[in-house]
Amino acid sequence: MKILNVDQIRALDESTIKHEPIAPLNLMERASMGFVNWFVDHFPATTSTKIFCGLGNNGGDGLAIARLLMERDYPVEVYVVRYAPRESDDFMHNHRRLKLITEDVKYIEYSRDLPTLRHNEVVIDAILGSGLSRPADGIVKATIEAINRAPATVVSVDIASGLYVDQPNQANDVIIEPDHTVSFQLPKLAFVLPKNGKYVGKWHLIDIQLHKRYIDIAPTPYYYTQPNEARLLLHQRDRYSNKGTFGHALLLAGSFGKIGAAVLAARSCLRSGVGLLTVHVPQCGYSIIQASVPEAMCESDGHQTVLTGTSRVGGPQPVTYTTVGIGPGIGKAPETLAMLRDLLPTITRPMVIDADALNLLSENRELYSQIPQNSILTPHPKEFERLTKPWQNDYEKLDLLRDFAKTHRVVVVLKGAHSAIATPTGDVHFNSTGNPGLSTGGTGDVLTGVLTALLAQGYDSVEAAVLGVYAHGLAGDVIADQRGPIGMTASDVIDALRWE
């Protein structure tokens, strides 16, 4: 699903009005009706509801929502925040329609006009929407602050008032902190950026049948992975296939005290459909892997505690493997760096690079040019900062991410809430699955195993990253549903992986 910018959202509106065709006021009615259908599914008709409306079309939505909820007998109070002398046409039209059924519309010009808000009430925030062009100030700011202080449940229409759709807010901007955002048709970039979490709450999309052809051809680098899109990426298995069909992966993982990382990556790799797996670990990990992952072959490094790439049986020969995954638990010993240095030029196929392998790269940037094209790198934000440089906000981070992926022709999975997957062409796919329970030790090792398995089976790198990250997050969501996010372990995630 595409994520469009604010100008495209406006143009999409106009395109819908022109091509459907539909009168602007009727489109507003459709959007408001969609919101109301969502609202009645979530809050009973006894819910005391206060709607705060601005003077533009977001406010117009608010007035239409007020009327539609009153028609369904919700106890609704309407407040218009009078911050400017002019209202939009569709605001005025809905204002007139509302006045036909109630005289009781209140106006907020000064702080003393603000009502008291209680915990058992619901506030609908329709003050400012996608038309935001400057920080909230004056009475708008005072109203937003009052709503944020109140114990009431807050639902924002389209986007929290004060939050920009696709550009950074300043640290001191005043923005609604909703429990829910009910938006129209497509997600907004602001919704998927981790730092905006409290200005978005849980978000929901209402299909208002905006012009499909416009969406289909609108250029954008940003995508949001939907369940049906992820499922379409899944390769169907031929019943006459054999284990050779699904590749032979090599995982280079583990060091003394961190053999568990190798175990997790190996198990998830096997659970993700790889044909054959060899795990190369330091000698101290040999018996552990043999005993705990019997399905894998194990190759012992010549070194007791860290990876050096040497071996008493002749050393790993990555060129003979379909795919190499490196990083989980390897540490940053000089011998391991030397191994990475020797290894990279010998690999011609995309590989998976994680954890300390990324840290070694960031400390030896001359190696960037040696990374095989279309490899998948899986940094968390701190690792990505080491690979690049610090950023001021999520938008700058996104630019760095796209630049890095394009410059080095790699796929970068920036892990976090809505993990962002940047492609060598500069597109970004935001993931839709996962929960805070996944921020626990070992889940990154699991992802490395998953991605290595998908590459070994012949998935293209972007597809492997989008599908693998989605499936990994979904496994976390399944566990969170069953017994809550707290106490989830990386091993649970492996067990919950499903490929169907």
Ligand X SMILES: NC(=O)C1=CN([C@@H]2O[C@H](COP(=O)(O)OP(=O)(O)OC[C@H]3O[C@@H](n4cnc5c(N)ncnc54)[C@H](O)[C@@H]3O)[C@@H](O)[C@H]2O)[C@H](O)CC1
Residue 161, interface with K ion (CB under 5 A)?
yes
Q: Which does 143 bind (CB under 5 to 8 A by kind): ligand X, K ion, none?
A: none
Residues of each annotated binding site for AMP: 415-419, 444
Q: Report the C-alpha gap between 414 and 418 in whole angstroms.
A: 9
Cβ at position 471, least distance to ligand X in Å = 31
Q: Which is nearer to ligand X, 7 or 179 (CB)?
A: 7
Residues of each annotated binding site for K(+): 58, 125, 161
Q: Which does 125 bind (CB under 5 to 8 A by kind): ligand X, K ion, none?
A: K ion
Put the strands of the sheet holding 202-206 in their side by side order: 105-108, 76-81, 49-53, 122-126, 153-157, 180-184, 202-206
Cβ at position 226, least distance to ligand X in Å = 19
Q: Which is nearer to K ion, 157 or 422 (CB)?
A: 157
Q: Tokens 């819908």 identify what position?
A: 16
Q: Which of 72, 59, 186 is nearest to 124 (CA)?
A: 59
Residues of each annotated binding site for (6S)-NADPHX: 57-61, 129-135, 158, 261, 329, 380, 445
Q: Which does 83 bind (CB under 5 to 8 A by kind): K ion, ligand X, none?
A: ligand X
Q: Which does 305 bind (CB under 5 to 8 A by kind): K ion, ligand X, none?
A: none
Beta carbons of 122 and 43 less than 8 angstroms apart = yes
Question: Quick count: other Cβ atoms within 10 Å of Cβ 332?
Answer: 15
Residue closest to K ion when measured from CB atoms:
161
* Binder among 156, 185, 255, 323 for K ion (CB under 5 A): 156
Residue 13, interface with K ion (CB under 5 A)?
no
Beta carbons of 451 and 431 less than 8 angstroms apart = no
Q: Which does 156 bind (CB under 5 to 8 A by kind): K ion, ligand X, none?
A: K ion
Map the footprint of K ion across residues 56-75, applying CB under 5 A: 58
Q: Which is nearer to K ion, 32 or 58 (CB)?
A: 58
Q: Which of 389, 383, 391, 390 is nearest to 361 (CA)?
A: 383
Cβ at position 124, least distance to ligand X in Å = 12
Binding site for ligand X (CB under 6 A): 9, 13, 27-28, 31, 54, 56-59, 61, 83-84, 88, 128-136, 140, 157-158, 184, 210
Torsion of the alpha carbons at 387, 392, 395 and 399, rounded to the nearest 10: -40
Cβ at position 80, least distance to ligand X in Å = 12
Cβ at position 444, least distance to ligand X in Å = 37
Residue 130, interface with K ion (CB under 5 A)?
no
Q: Tokens 């583990």 identify what position?
A: 254
**Any alpha helices (H) in 175-282, and if so which ranges?**
212-217, 227-233, 259-271
Q: Tokens 């990990």 identify what position?
A: 285
Beta carbons of 156 and 180 less than 8 angstroms apart = yes
Query: Strands 420-422 and 411-414: what pairing?
Result: antiparallel
Kindly list the residues in this chain that would bind K ion in the complex (CB under 5 A).
58, 125, 129, 156-157, 161
